[in-house]
C-alpha cells in the first residue's frame, strides 16, 4: 500500500510523491489524514521565510484517523483507550525529553522539536507532514482522542491556534472579572476571545477590519475597537482606560503579528498587569519600544511559542464544551481537495480566503 505526500521542493513549487506506507514502530501510530488546515506559518514556509523549514512536506494542523498502531499503544496521552479508526489530534511537534528545555519541564521549547518535520520525504517513515494522505506519529509526540461532537474542520485547528492561545492565557493566569485587551481579530484572536470569555473575563478586541470585529462579537468580545475609528495609540489607550475605570486592562495579548502592536500593547495595560506575546514570530522584524514605560508600569511579559503538549487535550475539552456556543466552524471559509494545495496556499497568501481547509477523501 502506498500513500501520497505534497512536497515543497523549493519555495512556491509543489510536487506530489508516492511512498510505501510504513508500519509504525513501538509506541508510534500511522494516521490517515481526514482534514488539514492551512496555517499562517505555512505561508511563511511557502514563501521561503521560515527560519528552519526550507523544503519538504508542509502542513501541521490536522485531524486523522488511526490506521495502524505500533506495539504498546493502547491509550492516548490522557489515558483514554484507543483503537483503529478513532479520530485523534496530535501535537505537530515532538518533545524529546532529553534536551535542556525538556529536562527543565519546558516541553514547549524542546530543542529537537522539528527533528521529523524537517526530514525529507525520501527518508523513512516518509509521512512527516500533514499535507499528505497519511501521517506518522512518533513516540515523542502527544496525541489525544477527539470528542465526537467536534466536527473535522474544527478539530483540525486544535493542535495549533487554539492550544497556543489557551496556553498563553493560562500562563498569564487571567482571572474572573479581569479585563483582557486582544490585539488582532484573526483566528488566534477569536479563539482567545472565546477562551477569555469562558474564564469570566471582560474582552476588548482591536482590529482594523470591520468584518473581523463583527465576528469577534460572536466569539464573546464585549468591546470592539476599530483601528480606523481610533486611529492613534493615544486614542485607543484613552478608550481602554475609560472602559477599565481609568487604569488600563489587567492583561494584554498580541496576536496580530505586527511588531508595532507589541510596542503599543504596554500602553493599554494597567500598572502591574501582564502581557502575552504570541503573534510576532518573525525574527529580525523591529519596532520602536519604550522600555521606560515598561519598567514604570512593571508589566510582566509572557512570550508563547508552541505549548505544553497537554494543552492540546485542554483545547479539545474546551471545544467540546463550547461547540454550540461559538461559531468555530465558520472560521474555515474555503475548502480544497488534496490536489489543490497549491491554490489553497496561494489564495491564502493573497488573502482571498481567510482559513483554507484541505479535505481528504
Interface residue list for Zn ion (CB under 5 A)? 39, 61, 96, 99, 102, 110, 160
Query: Shortest approach of Zn ion to residue 89 CB, angstroms?
Result: 13
Query: Shortest approach of Zn ion to residue 110 CB, angstroms?
Result: 3
Which residues are within 8 A (CB) of 80 and not within 5 positions of it... i.e. 6 or more apart?
144, 145
Residue 160 or 204 with smaller CB distance to Zn ion: 160
Residue 160 or 162 with smaller CB distance to Zn ion: 160
Query: Shortest approach of Zn ion to residue 60 CB, angstroms?
Result: 6
Q: What does the DSSP 8-state code read for residue 258?
A: -
Query: Shortest approach of Zn ion to residue 290 CB, angstroms?
Result: 31
Q: For residue 206, what are the β-bridge partners?
A: 183, 225
Residue 46 or 223 with smaller CB distance to Zn ion: 46
What's the rounded Cα separation, in Å, for the pair 335 and 333?
7
CA 55-59-62 angle, to 5 degrees, is: 165
Query: Shortest approach of Zn ion to residue 103 CB, angstroms?
Result: 8
Backbone dihedral angles phi then psi of residue 20, each to the nearest 5 degrees: -65, 140
Q: Would you list the DSSP string of 144-184?
A: EEPPTTS-HHHHTTIIIIIHHHHHHHHHTT--TT-EEEEE-
Whether the Cβ atoms of residue 171 and residue 304 lie closer than 8 Å to each other: yes
How many CB atoms lie under 10 A from the CB of residue 32? 17
Q: With b meaning 16 or more CB within 10 Å and e meaning fewer, what string describes 284-305?
A: eeeeeeeeeebeebebebbebe
DSSP-based three-state secondary structure for 306: coil
Instruction: Name the closest residue to Zn ion (Cβ).
Output: 39
Residue 128 or 202 with smaller CB distance to Zn ion: 128
Query: Shortest approach of Zn ion to residue 105 CB, angstroms?
Result: 11
Query: Shortest approach of Zn ion to residue 158 CB, angstroms?
Result: 11
How many residues are recorded in the chain? 361
Residue 106 or 260 with smaller CB distance to Zn ion: 106
Query: Shortest approach of Zn ion to residue 223 CB, angstroms?
Result: 28
Residue 161 or 181 with smaller CB distance to Zn ion: 161
Residue 31 or 269 with smaller CB distance to Zn ion: 31
Nearest-10 crossing angle of helices 163-171, 311-322: 100
Residue 14 or 99 with smaller CB distance to Zn ion: 99
Q: Would you list the DSSP string of 77-91?
A: TTS-B--TT-EEEE-
Query: Shortest approach of Zn ion to residue 306 CB, angstroms?
Result: 10
Residue 96 or 359 with smaller CB distance to Zn ion: 96
Q: With b meaning 16 or more CB within 10 Å and e meaning fewer, what string describes 96-114?
A: beebebbeeeebbbbebbb
Amino acid at each position: 500500500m502506498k500513500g501520497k505526500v505534497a512536497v515543497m521542493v523549493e519555495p512556491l513549487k509543489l510536487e506530489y510523491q508516492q511512498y510505501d506506507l510504513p508500519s509504525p514502530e513501538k509506541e508510534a501510530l500511522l494516521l490517515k489524514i481526514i482534514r488539514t488546515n492551512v496555517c499562517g506559518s505555512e505561508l511563511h514556509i511557502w514563501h521561503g521565510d521560515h527560519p528552519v523549514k526550507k523544503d519538504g512536506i508542509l502542513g501541521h494542523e490536522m485531524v486523522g484517523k488511526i490506521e495502524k498502531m505500533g506495539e504498546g499503544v493502547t491509550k492516548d496521552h490522557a489515558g483514554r483507550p484507543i483503537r483503529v479508526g478513532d479520530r485523534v489530534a496530535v501535537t505537530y511537534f515532538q518533545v524529546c525529553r532529553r534536551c535542556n528545555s525538556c529536562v527543565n519541564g519546558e516541553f514547549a521549547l524542546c530543542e529537537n522539536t522539528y527533528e521529523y518535520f524537517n526530514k525529507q520525504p525520501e527518508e523513512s517513515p516518509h509521512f512527516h507532514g500533514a499535507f499528505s494522505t497519511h501521517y506518522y506519529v512518533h513516540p515523542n509526540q502527544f496525541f489525544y482522542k477527539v470528542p465526537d461532537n467536534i466536527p473535522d474542520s474544527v478539530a483540525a485547528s486544535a493542535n495549533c491556534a487554539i492550544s497556543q492561545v489557551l496556553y498563553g492565557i493560562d500562563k498569564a493566569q487571567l482571572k474572573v472579572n479581569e479585563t483582557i485587551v486582544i490585539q488582532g481579530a484573526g483566528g488566534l484572536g477569536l479563539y482567545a476571545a472565546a477562551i477569555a470569555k469562558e474564564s469570566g473575563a471582560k474582552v476588548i478586541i482591536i482590529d482594523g477590519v470591520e468584518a473581523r470585529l463583527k465576528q469577534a462579537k460572536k466569539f464573546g468580545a464585549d468591546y470592539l475597537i476599530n483601528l480606523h475609528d481610533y486611529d492613534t495609540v493615544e486614542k485607543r489607550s484613552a478608550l481602554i482606560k475609560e472602559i477599565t475605570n481609568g487604569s488600563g486592562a489587567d492583561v494584554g495579548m498580541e496576536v496580530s503579528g505586527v511588531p508595532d502592536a507589541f510596542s503599543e500593547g504596554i500602553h493599554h495595560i494597567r500598572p502591574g498587569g501582564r502581557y502575552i506575546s504570541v503573534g510576532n514570530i518573525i525574527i529580525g522584524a523591529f519596532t520602536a519600544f519604550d522600555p521606560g514605560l515598561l519598567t514604570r508600569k512593571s508589566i510582566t511579559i509572557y512570550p508563547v511559542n508552541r505549548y505544553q503538549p497537554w494543552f492540546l487535550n485542554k483545547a479539545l475539552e474546551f471545544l467540546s464544551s463550547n461547540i454550540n456556543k461559538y461559531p468555530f466552524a465558520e472560521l474555515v471559509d474555503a475548502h480544497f481537495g488534496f490536489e489543490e494545495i497549491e491554490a489553497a496556499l496561494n489564495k491564502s497568501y493573497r488573502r482571498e480566503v481567510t482559513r483554507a481547509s484541505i479535505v481528504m477523501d
